A and B are shown apart, each in its own frame.
Chain A
Amino acid sequence: MTAADVLSLTTLVALVMLGLAMLITVVRIIIGPTLGDRVLALDMLTVVAMGFVGTVALRTGLMLYLDIAIALALLGFLATIALARYILSRAVSSRGAPL
């Protein structure tokens, strides 16, 4: 069993596990009781998708996918920050206090 075979098998197993992780996280997004749970699960989904894209980069050998993974991590961070600010401002405005 050469190193290339080991790499192919390992990336396949890792892709299956990361796909399962994404499915489980999507279940939490659907059933999440509060908005904060959904935002947290979306953040988790972005990190898992970043790992998925990194694994695809290893499997195909195209290192351009790594840039996509880094951009995805940046996007997930900004989305979580924006949604947290939105949760805060929505609660403040629903109570009638000034922003």
Chain B
Amino acid sequence: MISDIAIYAGCVLLLAGAIFSLVAAIGVLRLPDLYTRMHAASKAGAVGGGLILISVAVMSFDFGVALRAIVGFCFLLLTTPVAAHLLARASYRTSGQSPAVLVEDELKSKRSQNEVA
């Protein structure tokens, strides 16, 4: 009975993770700009993969496996923002001009300082 409840809860988490991953992929395809695409991939994508890992933890009925899945989830939540930040910094510093859809460029003065230096 308890195991049935855990399996149903894990199925709900698994479906939610798959839906988040699909929405993130559609966002990566449809959004207009690298930075907005990064917004879709690094938030919705990380949550999608993390929810699937949590559903593995709920449905495994094994402490070691559940612990590994939760550690993997924490690892994913820690590394995805770092990777997105590095990629945004690299592409901002190499693109040469501000992106067209940007409302305000708060790093513009720092970029001009870097190019002078």
What interface size band does chain A fall in? 35 or more
Given contacts A13-B18, A17-B21, A24-B25, contact A3 B7 (CB under 8 A): yes
In-complex Cβ contact of A73 among B4, B19, B72 (8 A): B72
- The A-contacting residues of B in range 43-97, CB under 8 angstroms, are 45-46, 48-49, 52-53, 55-56, 59-60, 62, 65, 68-69, 71-72, 75-76, 79-80, 82-84, 86-87, 89-91, 93-95
Given contacts A20-B22, A66-B69, contact A47 B87 (CB under 8 A): no
A43 CA to B38 CA in the complex, in Å?
Answer: 10
Cβ–Cβ contact A18 & B86, under 8 A: no
Interface of B (DSSP majority class): helix
Given contacts A28-B29, A66-B72, A80-B87, contact A73 B49 (CB under 8 A): yes
A84 CA to B71 CA in the complex, in Å?
Answer: 25
A48 CA to B76 CA in the complex, in Å?
Answer: 12
**Interface mask (A74-88 → B, CB under 8 Å = 1, otherwise 0):** 101100110111011
Interface size on B, residues (CB 8 A): 54
Given contacts A3-B8, A40-B28, contact A51 B21 (CB under 8 A): yes
Which residues in B have their C-beta under 8 angstroms from that of A57?
A: 56
Cβ–Cβ contact B4 & A84, under 8 A: no
Which residues in A have their C-beta under 8 angstroms from that of B69?
A: 54, 66
Cβ–Cβ contact A14 & B79, under 8 A: no
Given contacts A28-B29, A58-B59, contact A67 B91 (CB under 8 A): no
Cβ–Cβ contact B18 & A55, under 8 A: yes
Given contacts A27-B29, A91-B93, contact A55 B14 (CB under 8 A): yes
Cβ–Cβ contact B18 & A41, under 8 A: no
Cβ–Cβ contact A70 & B56, under 8 A: no
Residues on B lying within 8 angstroms of A by beta carbon are: 3-4, 7-8, 10-11, 14-15, 17-19, 21-22, 24-26, 28-29, 34, 37-38, 41-42, 45-46, 48-49, 52-53, 55-56, 59-60, 62, 65, 68-69, 71-72, 75-76, 79-80, 82-84, 86-87, 89-91, 93-95
